[in-house]
Amino acid sequence: MRQVCNLMALIFLVTSSNLEGGARPHQEAIEDPAPPVVAELEPMEAPVARPYPELRFIESPIALSKGAVTEDWPCFMGLQHSGHSRETKLRKTFDTGEPQLVWAMQSGLGFACPVIANGKLIYTHRVGNETHVDCLDPETGQRYWRYSYPCEYKDRYISNNGPRSTPIIDGDRVYTHGVAGRLHCLDLATGRVIWQRDLAKEYHIPQDFFGVVASPIIHGDLLIQNIGAPPPPPEPGGPSVAAFDKRTGQLVWGAGSEWGPSCASPIIATVHGRDRLFVIAGGDSRPPVGGLMVMDPKTGKVDFAYPFRSRAQISVLGASPIVGDGRVFITASYNTGTAGLALHSDGGFTELWKTRRVGMQFSNPIYVDGHLYAIDGHSDRVGSIICFAPGSGEVLSRTDLTWEEVLFYRGEENMQPLSIGEGSLLHVDGATMCLGDNGHLLWLEMKPEGTRVISRVSLFRANESWTPPVLSRGLLYVRQNTKERFGQTPAPPRLMCFDLRDSELTE
């Protein structure tokens, strides 16, 4: 989806050669500007989960079905970093109404996903001039602890000034990267700070289009993030991507010096028997530059970089790379497009195809049964499910998902056209779940010849539902980011837990 800009390519070729075979940008050793102090936490009794005023508990979920497969959701895009889940025995029809709402928590600002592991749910949001990190019981919504810190961030383009980056749980710790660049390592049991860094201050990173959006990822003992540090004079600078020791917060390696931060989260996938780190980089820069970097997550050694960015100055790279069958797919809006690259075992690549006709703004495509599926849509506009042939980029099918629905608006009931807009996809239990950006949940059967709607239900009626859904132990977690626009009693922004456990399979 991102079209290569001629000027970007020219700049990158100054430090690279043989782009088709795998350009390798110049890399300098980078010193840690401010290694953090690691706290020595005294033993203490873990807090007990308790109710609080913002929580509304409705009903306990039903029991899990016998033999149901479940898993944690500890980071952005799930355990596989791909928008896939291994969970089974989920409810896929809503003939008798919407899924049971288990609990709802009135939420502050932000777009970050909740994450779930080791019996804890971590949720970040902003209330006033504080960012809250809440640790909740996933089945009751009751709170174990809250850690808060000041936040004065003000966005340049939208009114939502809350956190965008999704936390990550690893063992007995949780890591959060705030919208203004504060990186925290917290004790999962108690919420106490183990170490923290102000990356924006330490690396002199100016505010990007939407602050810190990319979510960090963990590989072994490394916490990896696209921080997008700009090159100080004299160039080269960096790092664009940094890996920190997850135990101490100290910088282990830094890579890249040309491209800034992006709104796309890094992913790690195994290709040709090796773990590779895929990072979309490129923020607010003149001229607008950025693209895909593929590297060794252990060392930061860059295999290749592929320039891929809109020619428009005010444009972002929002969708994470998708990897499948030895290929990587990248996409962007702003007249950029979508591209497919074949990855070589020696670290290089071949560009298979590139099109400017289809590009996603920030919705992540998914790779299912040897085909690439994506939502071609914009907020509050028509959304279509597109199937690409991964080797050629040919559009095999396009299915518009539109319908009409009676809405209560300004004291009257009106028939309104609706669609999935800029929705999110999650492949699970033999089907694909879609959360539309107006609060609709759909189950889809996606095939190369077209997409069929299995069922559809409205969870709420509020736009900007851009936070991808999270699924763990048969429970669905959805973030409503704005006040409901329709209905007789509009609800404020909330984090909600729905029961998707199938009662017909429960014994």
DSSP structure string for 477-505: EEEE-S--SSSSS---SEEEEEE-B-GGG
According to DSSP, the β-strands at 130-136 and 143-150 are antiparallel
User: Could you please report the per-residue DSSP string of 317-358?
Assistant: --SPPEEETTEEEEEETTTTEEEEEEEPTTS-EEEEEEESS-
> What residue ranges do the domains of the chain occupy?
6-27+68-505
**Dihedral sign (CA 66, 69, 74, 77):** negative
Confidence of residue 408 (pLDDT cuts 50, 70, 90): confident
- Quick check: 279 pLDDT over 60? yes
- Quick check: 268 pLDDT over 70? yes
**Model pLDDT for residues 160-174, shown as the tens digit of each residue:** 999 999 999 999 999
- What are the beta bridge partners of residue 106? 494
Instruction: Dig out the tokens for 94 from the structure.
Output: 């809503």
- Quick check: 507 pLDDT over 70? no
- Residue 375 DSSP SS3: strand
Quickly count: other Cβ atoms within 10 Å of residue 351's Cβ.
13
On the question of a cis peptide bond just before residue 239, with omega within 30 degrees of 0, the verdict is yes
Q: Are residues 73 and 116 in contact, defined by beta-carbon separation less than 8 angstroms? A: yes
**Residue 13: phi, psi to the nearest 5?**
-70, -15
**Model pLDDT for residues 463-479, shown as the tens digit of each residue:** 899 999 999 999 999 99
Q: Are residues 355 and 308 in contact, defined by beta-carbon separation less than 8 angstroms? A: no
Residue with tokens 């560009």: 351
**Model pLDDT for residues 42-83, shown as the tens digit of each residue:** 999 999 999 999 999 999 999 999 999 999 999 999 998 999
Instruction: Dig out the tokens for 166 from the structure.
Output: 């999704």
Q: How far apart are the first and last CA of the chain?
A: 47
Q: Which CATH code, of 2.140.10.10, 2.70.98.30, 1.10.3720.10, 3.30.530.20, is assigned to 6-27+68-505?
A: 2.140.10.10
More confident of the two residues 336 and 245:
245
Model pLDDT, residue 435: 96
User: How many residues would you count in the chain?
Assistant: 507
Arithmetic mean of pLDDT over the chain: 89
**Model pLDDT for residues 250-267, shown as the tens digit of each residue:** 999 999 888 999 999 999
Averaged over 148-163, what is the pLDDT? Answer: 93
Averaged over 443-450, what is the pLDDT? Answer: 98
- Quick check: 150 pLDDT over 60? yes
What does the alpha-carbon distance between residue 38 and residue 40 come to, in Å, rounded to a whole number? 7
Write down the number of H helices and E strands in the chain: 3, 36
- Quick check: 148 pLDDT over 80? yes
Lowest mean pLDDT among 305-319, 382-396, 435-449, 460-474: 305-319
% pLDDT > 90, the chain: 73
